[in-house]
Amino acid sequence: MTNTQLLTYEPAPVRAPARARDEAPNFIELPKPDMSSGAPLMKALALRSSTREFSDAPLAPATLGALLWAADGINRPREGGRTAPSAHAFNEIDLYAVLANGVYRYDAPMHRLVLKHASDARNLTGYQDFVGDAPLDLVYVVNMSRLLEMPPQQRDIFSAVVAGAMAQNVALYCASEGLGCVVRGWINHRLLSDALKLNEDELPILAQTVGTMGTSLTSLAD
């Protein structure tokens, strides 16, 4: 039996948000996803992997819209059902898109991004060196106020399950479309909460970097 070697991390220096790269509109209306696009599910599962080398090329609006819909979009409009499961439909996880021109919250019912504030906070979504250069960092935030009807001992478990399901939806979409992504738990929760301007009852628990794979990885995939 071999011993598993675990990664060790050193604390990173304190960081601050950068100035937004471009104008940050208050709302970004997202294109509806093309339901006929992408690889079959079993193919996407076979291709799913973690990437840690990204191009800085921005994602096309259609790609961004489809990715966010895959994460937690409305797939049953009549009852408001989502692509990710949530106990009692509390929908306690808010999905934030941290872009070069601002921090946005995904509004699933309207399928749009709502500006939280105009700054480039990508480098605050984790300690890894690639997070500030990739075009998109997703942050999964628990809104505790939506879980008040759930027993306290269950809240952490159920919210983690929802965040995991959403992150896997994103990973499968990325695999289907030839994008790179990686889920990250090594974050400074207080620093990131400040960067996203969250309330006291909101907690970021997971991040995920998304983008076109770097040149060397793309050539390997080809």
**pLDDT under 70 in the chain at which residues?**
1-21, 215-222
CATH of the domain at 90: 3.40.109.10
**217 lies in which domain range?**
56-221
- Judge whether 141 lies within some domain: yes
- Judge whether 21 lies within some domain: no
% of the chain residues with pLDDT over 90: 78
- Judge whether 11 lies within some domain: no
- Judge whether 164 lies within some domain: yes
Tokens describing residue 69: 């819909």
Average pLDDT of every residue of the chain: 89
- Judge whether 201 lies within some domain: yes
What pLDDT shows up at residue 67?
A: 98
- Judge whether 49 lies within some domain: no
- Judge whether 184 lies within some domain: yes
The count of structural domains within the chain is 1
What pLDDT shows up at residue 7?
A: 46
The verdict on pTM exceeding 0.75 is yes
- Judge whether 204 lies within some domain: yes
What pLDDT shows up at residue 216?
A: 53
CA distance linking residue 92 with residue 86, whole number of Å = 8
